[in-house]
Amino acid sequence: MGRVYNFSAGPAVLPEEVLAEAASEMLNYRGCGMSVMEMSHRSKPFAEIIENAEADLRELIGIPENYKVLFLQGGASQQFAAVPMNLMKNRVADYIITGSWAKKAWKEGAIYGDARAIASSEDETFSYIPDCSDLPISDDADYVYICENNTIYGTKFHTLPNTKGKDLVADVSSCFLSEPVDITKYGVMYGGAQKNIGPAGVVIDIIREDLISDDVLEGTPTMLKWKTQADADSLYNTPPAYGIYICGKVFKWLKDQGGLEAIGERNKEKAAILYDYLDQSTLFKGTVRKEDRSLMNVPFVTGSDELDAAFVAEAKDAGLVNLKGHRSVGGMRASIYNAMPKAGVEKLVEFMDGFEKAHV
């Protein structure tokens, strides 16, 4: 079987060029006689890998010197606890609940202090982003928290919340590096790599330096102190070395594509192909308010569980895989991350059109 078009929400599609280059270096990385999987994280070759990865990420986003970049383990979910442990000085934080992951982060935050849900879209199955222009931000809040792109529900903050001067903390796992971003609008931005950047096992934190200190909640594990990781340049213990190596290759691939401006335009073009089809279809319907649609994750339904199941099965046979939607939404979901080529989206729409003609 050849390569399929993989619409998985994560772990997800990676650029073929990156996979091919990694394959060519698997047994012997650049003449050192071993794989990156085998080398010490203290070695000179790996030091160059992680240093170059950070430099390329900084260039892609435009990260100023007063922000630290950390390559960590534990996934984004571990940061649900690390965020309050490192930031909850007043034991108060405001959370905007726009999906399962924000809700989980909020519940985790409530273990450590007064985590306040100041807005939510759960009343309509998280199918929209609440108005965040004038929220009841707590005077003593240590931060305001969002999940910027909601993988399961297919929504995206296209305008960041008005935090009224409080630091914004954002989980950007499923929209990381998908378009240009002004990092200075965030106190903390973090995301798991397995959706848009690399393999599972790496989480990248970008943190303004003044938020990194020894002043953390009592009982915070050494490994979850951002200062521990920052002081050691992400090498306090053995990091997810091979995952960081792949992330570094993806960063170079993004630079070769023209950077985040170019990839952002390409992502808009890809998403428009699918959304335009959904808007005119008589069988398939999108589940998200138009103004809040994600460029990365596109859920849609037929209205029939039987037809949904038939579509997913027949699509798989056609080389379009991992289209089954999350159980909380049902139907289908196409994740069209940076590495999904335009041809993949076009083939999906062509298949949807044929399926519709056969069933309407």
Query: Considering 56, 142, 167, 171, which one is annotated as catalytic?
Result: 171
Clarify whether 171 is annotated catalytic.
yes
3 state SS of 271: helix
Query: Considering 195, 225, 249, 270, which one is annotated as catalytic?
Result: 195
| Helix (H) or strand (E) run with residue 303 in it | none
- Among 136, 141, 137, 146, which residue's Cα sits nearest to residue 90? 141
- Among 153, 188, 159, 158, which residue's Cα sits nearest to residue 171? 188
Q: What is the dihedral of CA 101, 102, 105, 107, to 10 degrees?
A: -110
Instruction: Write phi, then psi, for 275 (nearest 5 degrees).
Output: -65, -40
Query: What does the DSSP assignment read for 117-184?
Result: EEEE-GGGTT-SPPP-SS----TT-S-EEEESEETTTTEE-SS----TTSPEEEE-TTTTTSS---GG
Q: What is the dihedral of CA 203, 151, 339, 25, to 10 degrees?
A: 30
CA–centroid distance for 162 within its chain: 22
Alpha-carbon separation of residue 36 from 39, 201, 243 (angstroms): 5, 15, 10
Contacts of 55 (CB under 8 A, 6+ apart): none
Say which amino acid occupies 124: E
3 state SS of 68: strand
- Among 129, 148, 125, which residue's Cα sits nearest to residue 330? 125
CA–centroid distance for 179 within its chain: 12
| Helix (H) or strand (E) run with residue 231 in it | helix 226-231
Query: Considering 56, 68, 94, 101, which one is annotated as catalytic?
Result: 101
| Helix (H) or strand (E) run with residue 335 in it | strand 332-335
Q: Which sequence positions are flagged as catalytic?
A: 101, 171, 195
